[in-house]
Amino acid sequence: MSNLNYIFPFFIVENLQRSVAFLPNYTRHPWARWDAFISTADPDVLFGEYHSRGLAFRKPILDDNDGLRGFELADADGYVLFFGRPEQIISR
């Protein structure tokens, strides 16, 4: 499995204390594409592994307009998870 480095959750909540106890996904704001960003050193390898296990992807592996390479999954509770990394900078 590809090395997962860290996660940046983007859980938008109405009541922080109640949400910390349960972490519900009330709504995703229009500007928030994901509920969590999960950093991985090699998203292509992880995508291949998940694909071979038959996972359904919300968006397949791609380079986006924000300089990120990765893919999206929706978990069983509807949270949108992005697995990826910044596009690699090519040294000249």
Give the helix/strand (H/E) hosting 59: strand 59-63
- Residue 48 sits in a domain whose CATH number is 3.30.720.110
Q: Are strands 80-86 and 68-74 parallel, antiparallel or unpaired?
A: antiparallel
Q: Chain-centre distance of CA 42, in angstroms?
A: 13
The overall average pLDDT reported for the chain is 80
Cα(12)–Cα(64) distance, integer angstroms = 23
Cα(85)–Cα(46) distance, integer angstroms = 12
Q: Is 92 among the domain residues? A: no
**Number of domains present in the structure of the chain:** 1
pLDDT band with cut points at 50, 70 and 90 for residue 91: very low
Q: Is 91 among the domain residues? A: no
Q: Is 44 among the domain residues? A: yes
Amino acid identity for residue 12 in this structure:
I
pLDDT in tens, 48-90: 999 999 999 999 999 998 899 999 998 777 788 899 999 875 4
More confident site: 19 or 6: 6
Give which of 38, 37, 56, 41 is closest to 2, Cα–Cα. Answer: 41
Domain that holds residue 15: 4-86
Q: Is 65 among the domain residues? A: yes
pLDDT band with cut points at 50, 70 and 90 for residue 33: confident
